[in-house]
Amino acid sequence: MLESIKGPSDLKALRPEQLEQLSEEIRQFLITKVSKTGGHLGPNLGVVELTIAIHRTFDSPKDVVLFDTGHQSYVHKILTGRADQFDKLRQRGGIAGYPNRGESAHDVIENSHASTALSWGDGISRGFSLTGQSDRHVVVVVGDGALTGGMSWEALNNIAAANDRNLIIVVNDNERSYSPTIGGVATYLSTLRVTRGYERFLDWGKEVLTKTPVVGNPIYETLHGMKKGIKDIVAPQGMFEDLGLKYVGPIDGHDVAAMERALLQAKEFGEPVLLHVITEKGKGHKPAVADEAEKFHAVGIVDPETGTPLSKSVTSWTSVFSDELVALGHERKDIVAITAAMLGPTGLDKFEKLFPDRTIDVGIAEQHAVTSAAGLAFAGMHPVVAVYSTFLNRAFDQMLMDVALHKAGVTFVLDRAGITGDDGPSHNGMWDLALTGIVPTLHVAAPRDAARLRETLRESLEISDAPSLIRFPKGAVQTDIPAFERRDGIDVLYRGESADVLLVSVGAMAAIAVEAASQAYREGVGVTVIDPRWVKPLPQSLVTMAQRYKSVVILEDGIRHAGIASSISELFREAGLNVALHSIGVPLEFIEHSKRAEILEDLGITAQKISRDIVEWSSTVEEMQFPAHENADRKQTR
């Protein structure tokens, strides 16, 4: 049946028994395809019937359907004609793992960062209202913990004041984000889940009153007086209704008929409505439910039957950090680990098992995490805030004004720094070096290998009067690269026989830098490779070292604009050092999903391309320094 679904209109003619069959086919399709490509499996298995009901009730793309976060949109993509593209999910030339305007008119926003869709929905529905498009609806599916983010509540506060919007909010309550959703909002939704008795209470009251007179009837008077109190006890949806939102639910999100009835009811209101829908993350795939749900939020290549990973096990950067933090946790009682709904992905789950009282998961609320960390530092603790690099963007103001301004001893650990690849433009951690470079007092380390990660993490925890930050990439950690020597904190990794080029390698770029230097040597160019380890503040000794070389090349896995090369250029300028300087890094543009190696190849960040560039730049410097005939003689003697 799935093969016959080319768009949402094909759903509307299906009978109820066909919808059940279609739901099963979609689940098997997702398990088969995502097991081969990797991707967000658990969340999408949980929204099958919910998404079918939405597309049967509304007319996308005339009606706008938004998902928060967007990793719940795989079923939406299938039902909007993209099933044949799932063989290349999250791969070059294939469809993205999040909604993507370039793929389909049915996708409006690329929202892999959570808690944004309600604000989008507010703006779009307001725009429809202001432009007289009263026949268009906006449906926002909010789930996987997105309602724990503060921006969602800022949006709800504004949405609730509107009474002329065709806006339907579907709260997909599966009790989880990456891991079990925590906090007051989660507790509140849990209460709503288990208190379904209010409607039965009203039905009983109506039945009693039909058998006895209403006026003066003590039962009626009692019911009338208790109505509000009973409602708050038996179905305490008052928080939403007190905001001014109509509340419908809880509804079984796996019952298409019940979902359609609720959505049709909401569609007729003509003002914002909140539907509370209960779903099971990972439904229909035994390995993806219960205790294993967190592992199946996002999977790599796995066995479709058992869910067992098929890729080779490697030591990851995340696991090295995780193990070292646990060791430090035993040594120091002041360490507190903080994350934003990502205990497992950031490696804090190991710390949490041993030190639950010193582990804090704030939900999808990076801003709160960072300012709370400042408070913990004031109280004598040393917080370690672990998030993905790209998610630090969401808490930049708090890092700047609450942590750095107050000289708080907080350590930030950024996983997935640099080019990550598969998850697309919003997940490439390419901005952190530029962003953190403008934060006064902040210390930034970029370890090149596991040994340096452990080393700089320990060093960062000794900084108590200023914030510090450690960044590392996604994936397997490379073999340790020992230094020939350490000069004033700068590691020398490769020494050329002549002082032609000083290659400054930032973080995990070290292996590429050393290989490029070796290749350039075979072309007659002497390259010395150094690793500052700490790239902010930059050591003044870098100026002294650079004076010996004809040119300096900086290799970093962040944007070139305002990155480490820019900081080094400013350092040299202030010192009055005039030396040719070249920057190799990421251009200032959004980079679509591909494998990390493919993207680096595209950007020319490979040992072979860098060595060629170094040789060419060195030749240019010589042409500038020597007359043509002298330069020719020099080349002949090499």
**Binding residue ranges:** 71, 112-114, 144-146, 174, 285, 366
Question: Pick from 475, 503, 479, 477: which is nearest to 491 by CA?
Answer: 503
The rounded distance, in Å, linking the Cα atoms of 152 and 189 is 15
- 138-143 and 359-361 as β-strands: parallel, antiparallel, unpaired? unpaired
Write out the binding residues for thiamine diphosphate.
Answer: 71, 112-114, 145-146, 174, 285, 366
Identify the active-site residue in 260, 366, 459, 556. Answer: 366
Catalytic residue among 27, 136, 394, 474: 394
Note whether 550 and 618 are within 8 A (CB). yes
Name the maximum alpha-carbon separation found in the chain: 115
Catalytic residue among 176, 281, 350, 358: 281
SS3 454: helix
CA 558 – CA 389 distance, rounded (Å): 11
Any idea what DSSP says for residue 542? H
Question: In 10 A of CB 131, how many CB atoms?
Answer: 9
Residue 6 is among the residues annotated as catalytic for this protein: no
* Residue 281 a catalytic site member: yes
Considering just the CA atoms, what is the radius of gyration of the chain in Å? 29
Question: What would the 3-class secondary structure string for 215-283 be?
Answer: CCCHHHHHHHHHHHHHHHHHCCCHHHHHHCCEEEEEEECCCHHHHHHHHHHHHHHCCCEEEEEECCCCC
How is residue 368 written in tokens?
């709160």
State the helix-helix crossing angle for 48-57 and 256-269, rounded to 10 degrees: 40
Beta bridge partners of 55: none
φ/ψ region of 579 (left if φ > 0, alpha if ψ in -120 to 50, else beta) reads beta
596 is catalytic: no
Cβ contact 255:237 at 8 Å: no
Phi, psi of 423 (to 5 degrees): -85, 0
Residues at the binding site for Mg(2+) are 144, 174
| HEC sequence for 585-616 | EECCCCCCCCCHHHHHHHHCCCHHHHHHHHHH
Q: Mind telling me the catalytic residues?
A: 281, 366, 394
